[in-house]
């Protein structure tokens, strides 16, 4: 079990680093989107490549942060039943869900998405839009993202089994740590990025929490 927990720690560290790096793409997408809007409406200029790069980056954020979100237990849960159970009961539900639902789904998508990428790579698939981007990089994101999710699912399974065996802490216990949005806003402030960008990040967090868009 100690060896498995060490392996779990390596996976956690990998997805933590990838997730922290990937959240910076949110800022990049905001800046590109704002630049596209200004260019289109103020200068009457547009670019299919700049529009498509937003979609590519959004895909990267979603796929590369999936394992990071799972590692932090920040994914959406419906706790109508599980919320009334003991800590052990909640972990047993997660073990069942990971084995029966999460891992088979992620393995199937990772397996079937690889030929899609190889076909795009060998055929040189490009965008049907004039001036658009090649498609194989975004096709590659799918198997990579789900591979990271599979690794994190294995890590979470190890941690839950360790807890049930009395060999580790409860992995479902929420740590008193800032959210990803709060971390991003803090990093932006530390690097002295324009305050308007910090406001946008804060407003997005407020919308998620159902609060007013106050970035503080």
**Distance (Å, whole) CA 80 – CA 13:** 31
Residues 41 and 36: their CA atoms lie apart, in Å, by 9
Answer for the pair 23, 198: CB distance below 8 angstroms, yes or no.
no
Q: What gap in Å lies between CA 74 and CA 207, rounded to an integer?
A: 16
Q: Where do the H-state alpha helices sit in 124-194?
A: 136-164, 180-190
Structure tokens at 35: 């630049």
- pLDDT of 80 reads 75
Cα(41)–Cα(56) distance, integer angstroms:
23
HSE-up of residue 188 (Cα within 13 Å, Cβ side): 25
| Residues written for the chain | 216
DSSP 48: H
Residue 180 near residue 27 (C-beta atoms within 8 A): no
Under-50 pLDDT residues of the chain: 208, 211-216
């Amino acid at each position: 079990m100690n060896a498995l927990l060490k392996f779990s720690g390596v996976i956690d560290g990998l997805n933590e680093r990838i997730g922290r790096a990937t959240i910076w793409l949110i800022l990049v997408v905001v800046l590109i989107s704002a630049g596209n809007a200004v260019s289109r409406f103020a200068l009457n200029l547009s670019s299919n490549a700049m529009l498509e790069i937003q979609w590519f980056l959004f895909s990267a954020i979603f796929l590369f942060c999936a394992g990071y979100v799972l590692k932090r237990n920040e994914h959406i849960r419906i706790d109508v039943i599980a919320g009334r159970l003991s800590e052990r009961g909640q972990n047993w539900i997660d073990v069942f869900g990971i084995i029966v639902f999460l891992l088979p789904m992620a393995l199937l998508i990772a397996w079937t998405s690889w030929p899609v990428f190889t076909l795009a790579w060998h055929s040189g698939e490009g965008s049907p839009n004039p001036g658009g981007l090649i498609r194989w990089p975004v096709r590659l994101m799918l198997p990579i993202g789900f591979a990271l999710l599979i690794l994190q699912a294995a890590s979470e399974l190890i941690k839950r089994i360790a807890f049930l065996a009395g060999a580790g802490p409860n992995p479902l216990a929420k740590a008193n740590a800032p959210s990803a949005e709060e971390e991003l806003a803090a990093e932006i402030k530390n690097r002295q990025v324009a305050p308007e960008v910090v406001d946008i990040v804060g407003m997005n967090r407020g919308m998620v929490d159902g609060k007013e868009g106050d970035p503080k």
